[in-house]
Amino acid sequence: MNLVGNLLIAPPAVKNSFWNKTVIMVTEHHSQGSLGLVLNRKSELTLKEFGHQLGFNINLPGHVYIGGPVNVKNLSFLHTNEWISTNTMQVNDEFSISSAEDILPRMATKDLPNQWRLFLGLCGWGPGQLQGELSGQSPWKKETSWCTVNSNSELVFESDHHDQWCHALDRSGLEFAQNIL
């Protein structure tokens, strides 16, 4: 499986940590390491409050998401591909990620993609680390290895929090069963 644009799901054995019941989209994966965004960690901060703190009138429902524990002030905008900004990177045929200064002003005018989420922070893995975590090679353990699943807009944008983890884990099991039959 090509990891870029697809999802990592924390297995049920991962408990009592930030990673418990997380669903992560891998946005970059290469020899220098990997990056991703936790899709299902909603912050307490509403989009309206966030915009107000930065001087923008963002009158939209929803919250800012916690993309991960790395670079927690980094703003990332995960969205469908029909929308672009001055700094947009296409992740795959369905998703792009943007991180430009024009995102918040455009949100204030409701210039938005069809589907999107706004994140602060991200996930990062050093060279070879994600492959080790996936395979359960020492120092990682097989019982805490990430589950994987192909992404789609339904899994990424149409569910949230615990439901998103359950849906992704169910889909991962179905994909696994289809590949061994």
Give 29-81 pLDDT, tens digit per residue. 999 999 999 999 999 999 999 999 999 999 999 999 999 999 999 999 999 99
pLDDT at 181 over 60: no
Domains observed in the chain: 33-127 (3.40.1740.10)
Would you state the pLDDT for residue 108?
96
124 in Cβ contact with 33 (< 8 Å): yes
CB atoms within 10 A of CB 121: 22
Tokens of 30: 């290469």
Does an H or E element contain 76, and which? Answer: strand 70-80
Among 43-47, 112-116, 138-142, whose mean pLDDT is lowest? 138-142
